Amino acid sequence: IKLDSAAPVLADVDFTPTTAVAKAGSPLIIMGKSGSGKSSLLYSLVGFLPYVGSIKIGDVELREIRDRENHISMLLQDDYLFNTSIRENLKIANQDATDAQIHELLQLVELDKLVDSLPAGLDTHVGAYGYNFSGGEKQRMKLARVLLRDTPIYLLDEPFEYLDKELFERVSKRVLQRLQNKCLVVVSLSLIHI
């Protein structure tokens, strides 16, 4: 992966078919030290960074897919929560989502009880940069938002960041179950049990 004419951000990455193919029911988990280029690899998959070599979705070279947004849902490591309600932050991913669908995903990421306990419920404002919520709550809210989309491919960059071990295990298991029929690539500093 290169940034225009600059030096490579991530050089000489070679995945063999037995270890680097993500397909439905067989997620690809990318682990490595901080700063090793894991996020850069995901950014190249969605077209944020140019790449040298070949990245294919099915048999089609990634560069040839013009409507990637219809095929790929991505949770960025530094995704943003807007200074609006929980409902509106989640519906960014799917304007047609019902409150029942939103609640189902809040339950999946274990935020349903918290939201139900708030006086304004889904109409509660998250505040600028999500300041009304903890790091783990914000991360799970962003994860629920991505899961509201229905695409064949999901790229999740540190989706379980800020979660304690028990919560990490429960939520990651549910996410893997929900996306079992999707192509899933996850960047994680912690081992995810498949």
pLDDT > 70 fraction of the chain, expressed in percent and rounded: 87
> For residues 30 and 190, which has the higher predicted lDDT (pLDDT)?
30
Confidence band, pLDDT 50/70/90 cuts, at residue 123 = very high
For residues 54 and 36, give the distance between their C-alpha atoms in angstroms, rounded to a whole number: 20
What pLDDT score does 5 carry?
39
In this prediction, residue 194 has a pLDDT band, given cuts at 50, 70 and 90, of low
Q: What is the overall mean pLDDT for the chain?
A: 84
| 169-175 mean pLDDT | 94
CA–CA distance, 123 with 100 (Å, rounded to integer)? 14
Residue 155 phi, psi (nearest 5): -115, 115
Sign of CA dihedral 17, 19, 20, 26: positive
pLDDT given at position 190? 65
What's the Rg (C-alpha) of the chain? 17
Q: What is the pLDDT of residue 172?
A: 93
Query: Residues 12-38: what's their mean pLDDT?
Result: 68
What value does the mean pLDDT take over residues 147-166?
92
Q: Span 50-75, mean pLDDT?
A: 81
pLDDT at 129 over 60: yes
For residues 129-146, one letter each, b for 16 or more C-beta atoms within 10 angstroms of the residue's C-beta and e for the rest, the string is ebebbeebbbbbbbbbbb
Q: Between 1 and 142, whose confidence is greater?
A: 142
What pLDDT is recorded for position 24?
A: 78
Distant-in-sequence, close-in-space partners of 192: CB < 8 Å, separation ≥ 6: 29, 160, 172, 176, 186
Q: Give this prediction's pTM.
A: 0.84
pLDDT of residue 37: 78
